[in-house]
Amino acid sequence: MTEKKIALTIKEMESGLGRIKDLSISIGKLSAADWAEPEGPTPYPSLTTLRSWDRTLLSRYQPFYMPFCDLCCLCTYGKCDLTGTKKGACGITMPAQQSRIVLLSACIGAATHTSHARELVTYAIKKAGRDCPINPGGNAIGVEAPVIRLVCGEKPEILADLETILDYCESQITALLAVTHTGQEGDPLDFESKVLHAGMIDQVGMEVADLAQISALGYPKADPDAPLAALGMGNVDTTKPVILVIGHNVPPSVAIIDYLHKEHLSDQVEVTGICCTSIDATRYSPRAKIIGPMSWQLRYIRSGIPDVIVVDEQRIRTDALAEATKIHAPFIATSEKNCLGLPDRTRDPTDAIVSDLSSGRQAGVLILDPEKAGEVAVRVARTVAPIRKTTSFSIDPVTIQTQAATCTQCRLCQRACPNDLKIPAGMKAAGAGDLSVLAGLYEACVGCGRCEQACTREIPVHSLIVAAATERTRDEKFTIRTGRGAIQDIEIRNVGGPIVLGEIPGVVAFVGCANYANGGKEVAEMAVEFAKRRYIVCTSGCAAMSIGMYRDEEGKTPYEQFPGSFTAGGIVNVGSCVSNAHIAGATIKIASIFARRNLRGNYAEIADYVHNRVGAVGVSWGAMSQKASAIAAGFWRLGIPVVVGPHGTKYRRMLLGRADHDADWYVHDERTGEDVYAGPAPEHLFVAAETKEEAMVLVAKLCMRPNDTTRGRAMKLTHYIDLSQRNLGTIPDDIPRYIRTTADIPVTLKGEITKILAQSDWKERPIPDPTLLSRDKPSPHKER
């Protein structure tokens, strides 16, 4: 039995009370017998419902702390020194404080996605009605909300059903934030359990958000052949008025596109975007163009190309208004969460707002009505563009040389740079007339602008780097596959068996921000490498953009080289940040569709299945934001490892396994009823890699699972060893830990591996039917 909410909308009706128009009625929650799946043990779990499962994971993957700061400054007892064995005035220890900060980060991320979801559901209901069916893929999707089914035990059918799910998410985030108060939780592992809970709630919020916008806005519905969209600054027709949208909440972008369509202006104005709102805009209209990830904000605004800038929420530079003012581009903020000190003109006449922005009487305004913001943006852009096009904001080579020559070589810019770019050398060469060294920094620049803040001569360092690479930016014309949304059930049926048995070596998800150590090309190179090796590659958000900004020898982007289907060798762009839920949902659906495990409120069993049998790994190579932290935590609770780039160490802790601690790697064999050693598969739950090469080797290793067949394990070992030899120049020294029987040995490497086994104390062991749930107790926590 399921509970179902009935929503009714009356457009117009005559009654004894008078004429009634646009009346919406919600009739409680009625019992409906249309879902045969029995309810599991944990629907709507509280903070401690899944604590036992969390501690099972955390006993194997113990937190390794890397304090970013030795002090706690969160209350007025402090600041408190927590070095060594010292405690804070409230009694908190350094490990607990680090876990507390991680929990705060995960809560911020989960709150951001859930708040975003609430706005999207409200907007979708207003646009399509409360009884609008939830439709992520028509007949191609039978399990339409796997995360919600798993966590909440609900089967949402109409938009109104999503409100109850959000009520739950919001209550849990409030409770989790309460945990971080002074004098609440004190145990590091209980903090960590709550981090995992925040990640799970984040996945629910993301799924709600994308289900709402897919259903109401007509996005591609689980379409493997979703169209290609334009990506890169070179695609912008600068002779037209150009609107730039920045953020993650698509309603203002939709309103701009709708107004252009209504006024027959679609081919006369360019709608361009940065970050996830641009991905979602291309899901709504093929005319929208993606400029790039968050790191491209400064370079694109300072180019002077945008005539009007519209921002919504999330990962927007907080100095975007100041940067827009420098290029005389009218600015429109559209979110309560990002008002930027602007006057609220929401209720003012549209003509008056257009006049004030076009004349420059106001540099920017706050408009909280998406439709009004859309109309204002278009009208202002068409008014100011002819004037702005007469002014060039580009920096010519002579100016670059002149400004670079004022550099004193103090090296403060390089010290401030998160990637330690050799800026002084570039400035010195540019000052002498050679711009190539400065231009060479372009790829690895993350656009933070810290170099400029550090410069004592007030040189616009970032702008000079971009200007030196003008030829490259002019030619940046790429393609990205429009976000397809969910994975079809038939795709899961086709690959579920091969994934679980190990015959498809793994599912690798490239997600997260653009805070790369060596530029986005590394993400593209890793994605292409794994696609060529017949892994299933999934992606979303900024990582999806970075993958598209790469061409092979034939001039094709990865989205043109590889199919968009969830199959071996596919590169699957699910969409924006909130679409990450579909990647988690795919692993969950493997347990449901292939293994026929019940999803409904049955979290621990499904997470145990995914962890032991589904070779999935997340890669957040440029992880930066609190949202990325929350997204990763959601994958951890499902038992899916996540690899981050070198900047990921700033999240303060990793979740590392110890391959040499044999006691940590026992599983319960459901065939024999015995506890057996299964090897460190996967070895880590959260780990940072210093280089792209190290990351690829790690990913191949972390795709191994206790359930792998001999054929599957041999295939995974082949990739692991080959990647290690190619990238690190050696055969991994832990190979004996992953060979259970001689049938696991790759045929082409049999001679070498046999010698390695002979030199170790390797012994053949059985291949289990693994679970962590049936063991009486998890391995005891050991201090590292």
Strand order from edge to edge, sheet including 666-669: 675-677, 666-669, 770-771
Between 521-532 and 692-702, two packed helices, what is the crossing angle to 10 degrees? Answer: 40
pLDDT at 784: 36
pLDDT at 613: 97
Long-range pairs, 20-24, Cβ under 8 A, ≥24: 24/129, 24/130
Counting DSSP H helices and E strands in the chain, the numbers are: 29, 23
Strands 2-15 and 18-32 come out as antiparallel
Between CA 104 and CA 630 the distance in angstroms is: 10
pTM surpassing 0.85? Answer: yes
Model confidence pLDDT, tens digit, residues 111-149: 999 999 999 999 999 999 999 999 999 999 999 999 999
Tokens representing residue 763 in the block: 């012994």
Cross-strand bridge partners of residue 393: none
* CA-to-CA dists, residue 760 to 280, 724, 756, angstroms: 53, 20, 7
What is d(CA 548, CA 208) in angstroms, rounded to the nearest whole number? 27
**Residue-level pLDDT at 778:** 43
Largest CA distance in the chain: 93
Residues 705, 706, 708, 712: is their CA dihedral positive or negative? positive
From residue 496, how far is each of 193, 411, 711 by CA, in Å? 29, 54, 16
- CA distance linking residue 681 with residue 720, whole number of Å: 13
Q: Which residues contact 50 (CB under 8 A, 6 or more apart)?
A: 42, 193, 196, 197, 200, 603, 604, 637
Measured in whole angstroms, the distance separating CA 580 from the mean position of its chain's CA atoms is: 6
CA 56 vs. chain centroid, Å, equals: 26
Structure tokens at 414: 């390089």
pLDDT of residue 472: 82
Q: Crossing angle for the helix pair 188-217 and 276-284, nearest 10 degrees?
A: 30
| Number of residues assigned to the chain | 784
Can you tell me which residue has the tokens 């969160």?
74
First CA to last CA distance, the chain: 48
Whether residue 682 has a cis bond before it, omega within 30° of 0: yes
Write the CB contacts of 138 (distance below 8 Å, at least 6 apart in sequence): 221, 222
Q: What does pLDDT average to in each consecutive run of 10 residues of the chain (784 residues)?
A: 52 61 55 73 98 97 93 93 95 96 97 98 96 95 96 97 98 98 96 98 98 97 96 95 97 98 97 97 96 94 96 95 97 97 98 98 98 98 96 93 97 96 97 96 94 96 94 88 97 96 95 94 97 98 96 96 98 97 97 94 98 98 95 98 96 96 96 95 97 98 97 97 97 96 95 93 94 62 37
Q: How far is residue 394's CA from residue 297's CA, in Å, rounded to a whole number?
A: 15
Cα separation values, 275 from 241, 250, 312, 608, Å: 20, 11, 11, 34
Amino acid at 450: R
Determine the pLDDT at residue 776: 44
Closest CA to 120 of 206, 205, 209: 209
Q: Which run of H or of E encompasses 24?
A: strand 18-32
Give the DSSP per-residue string, 731-750: --TTHHHH--SGGGS-GGGH
The residues, ordered by sequence, that sit 6+ positions from 233 with a Cβ below 8 Å of its Cβ are 291, 292, 296, 300, 303, 305, 473, 474, 476
pLDDT at 739: 97
Distance of CA 466 to the CA centre of its chain: 26
Bridge partners (DSSP) of residue 667 are: 676
CA distances to 327, 391, 468 from 461, in Å: 17, 22, 11
Round to whole Å and give the CA distance between 145 and 210.
Answer: 10
Q: Which of 313, 270, 271, 273 is nearest to 291 (CA)?
A: 273
Q: Would you state the structure tokens that stand for residue 447, as one six-digit string?
A: 């656009």
The answer to whether 473 and 312 have CB atoms below 8 angstroms apart is: no
Distance of CA 462 to the CA centre of its chain: 26
Instruction: Report yes or no: 720 and 739 within 8 Å, Cβ to Cβ.
Output: no
How far is it, in rounded angstroms, from Cα 452 to Cα 439? 17
- Per-residue confidence (pLDDT) for residue 12, from 0 to 100: 66
pLDDT for the residue 740? 97
| Chain centroid, CA 645 distance in Å | 14
Position 10 scores a pLDDT of 61
At 87, the amino acid letter reads K
Residue that the structure tokens 């530079």 belong to: 317
Q: What is the pLDDT of residue 782?
A: 38
**Strands, sheet with 642-644, edge to edge from the N-terminal-most edge strand:** 62-65, 653-656, 686-688, 642-644, 616-620, 507-510, 536-540, 571-575
Do 636 and 607 touch, CB atoms closer than 8 A? Answer: no
Q: What is the DSSP string of 144-156?
A: --HHHHHHH----
How far is 483 from 221, CA to CA, in rounded Å?
9
pLDDT of residue 11: 62
Cis peptide before 79 (omega within 30 of 0): yes
